[in-house]
Amino acid sequence: MENKSELVVLMEDMGEAFKKFREKHDSKVADLENAITSIEKKMGRPGATGDFGLDGAGSTLQIGKTTKGAECYLLQKSQRISMRNAEREGFDLGEFVKDSIVGSRKAMGSGPALVPIGIADQVIDTVREQSAITQAGAQTLVIDNPTNLARILGNDPDVIQHTENVDDITESDIDLGYVTANPKLLAAVIPISEELVQDSPNLNQVIQLAVAGSFAEKLDALIFEKLMADAGITSSATAYAAAVAQDPALWENVLAAVGGAMAYKQGVPSAIISAPADFIGRASQKSSSGGWLGKPPALAQMAEYTATALPAGTAFLGDFAKAIIVAVRSDLRLEVVRWKNAGKGQHALIAHARMDGYIVQPDALFKQLKTV
């Protein structure tokens, strides 16, 4: 009887041990299922399954939400919109134009042939690659509706070390507002002759660069117009007790402007954009012994860009990724219209998109002026 009691106890112990094992097992299975579900969700996001070729880093597109809850893409300088349609990377725009005009593609005698949706993303990426603003670091926001962008005016918030029971926490001198991103339409009509279409093997490259270059130049011009007028940007005329002339064509003056920016809590600038003449002026500087002076070592990491939209004697330097967002309201559309000008034997390529830039943190930039 005593042995039977011991056996019962042993069986009960084994049952309890199995119960605990089962509970741990079920818990681990549940954790594994949750982990798999999380991975599946992440892999379902745009770009999560592939290397976007972004400086070898394999970064993915950042996704945000508009005020209406719609998804929008926020791209860094090195990210590409066209990765949303990676399967169309081999599309030849020149062949499409040629086929639409002289090939078998069905098109009305004077009607449009629309480039497939998604293809034009590649052209927008080429626009971004040729824009001085986006190459300097400005982020690109792809939106479907008018969207409010937060704009920071004034200094960063003040952090107070609080003493218990003492009324010593003060309000920061910071002004938060917003700008509404709702870009107007940009459009270009490019005449194309019958002979050009038939006889040019490099038509694809020429068309893409022509469209992209024109849109990039216009985009930069629109943004620089805003930058020139923005009173929130510290400049050579406002950063000091008395205005100081700082010629962007001289490295010592650029270094002095960086010092002025740093006095307003800016870091060493990631980039400077100046007129071509000022860039050449800096590059032409020589020492008394005849050697090239070059960029000061302290600014070795600062990238240099030029823009014909900027007048000589004016430059902008700072953190363009913080300061500016380029909003793309719709995909760039490309349409081929046959016999747009029948008398000249010309067809037309019409390109249109809604794009513009918005200054969201003016204190991240410094305006360097030769004349104050």
> Where do the CATH 3.30.2320 domains begin and end in the chain?
234-318
Q: Residue 53 has what pLDDT?
A: 40
**Which of 317, 327, 342, 221 lies closest to 261 in space, CA to CA?**
317
Quick: pLDDT tens for 303-325: 999 999 999 999 999 999 999 99
Quick one: tokens of 163? 């003493």
**Average pLDDT of every residue of the chain:** 80
Say if CB 183 and CB 356 are below 8 A apart: yes
Q: Residue 107 has what pLDDT?
A: 45
Between residues 280 and 190, which one has the greater pLDDT? Answer: 280
Helix boundaries (H) for 120-231: 120-130, 132-135, 194-199, 203-229
Between residues 337 and 67, which one has the greater pLDDT? Answer: 337
Q: Residue 63 has what pLDDT?
A: 61
Quick one: tokens of 278? 């000022």
Q: Residue 87 has what pLDDT?
A: 46
Say if CB 269 and CB 366 are below 8 A apart: yes
Report residue 32's pLDDT band, with 50, 70 and 90 as the boundaries.
confident
Report, as an integer, the average pLDDT of 168-176: 80
Instruction: State which amino acid sits at residue 363.
Output: D
H or E stretch including 7?
A: helix 2-43
pLDDT(141) > 60: yes
Report residue 47's pLDDT band, with 50, 70 and 90 as the boundaries.
very low
pLDDT(42) > 50: no
Q: How many CB atoms lie within 10 A of CB 161?
A: 6
Instruction: State which amino acid sits at residue 300.
Output: A
Report residue 23's pLDDT band, with 50, 70 and 90 as the boundaries.
confident
Q: Residue 341 has what pLDDT?
A: 82
Quick: pLDDT tens for 69-107: 666 778 888 887 766 554 445 556 667 677 767 665 544
Least confident of 2-16, 148-162, 163-177, 218-232: 2-16
Q: Residue 139 has what pLDDT?
A: 93
Between residues 336 and 315, which one has the greater pLDDT? Answer: 315
pLDDT(54) > 50: no
Query: What helix, strand, coil percent values describe the chain, rounded to 5?
Result: 40, 25, 40
Report residue 44's pLDDT band, with 50, 70 and 90 as the boundaries.
very low
Least confident of 12-26, 34-48, 307-321, 322-336: 34-48
**Which of 49, 98, 63, 370 lies closest to 207 in space, CA to CA?**
98
pLDDT(1) > 90: no
pLDDT(55) > 50: no
pLDDT(59) > 70: no
Between residues 39 and 264, which one has the greater pLDDT? Answer: 264
Q: Residue 34 has what pLDDT?
A: 65
Residue reference for tokens 């499409």: 96
Longest CA span, the chain: 116
> Which CATH code is given to the segment(s) 234-318?
3.30.2320
Say if CB 142 and CB 328 are below 8 A apart: yes
Q: How far apart are CA 16 and CA 113, in angstroms?
A: 75
End-to-end CA distance of the chain: 108
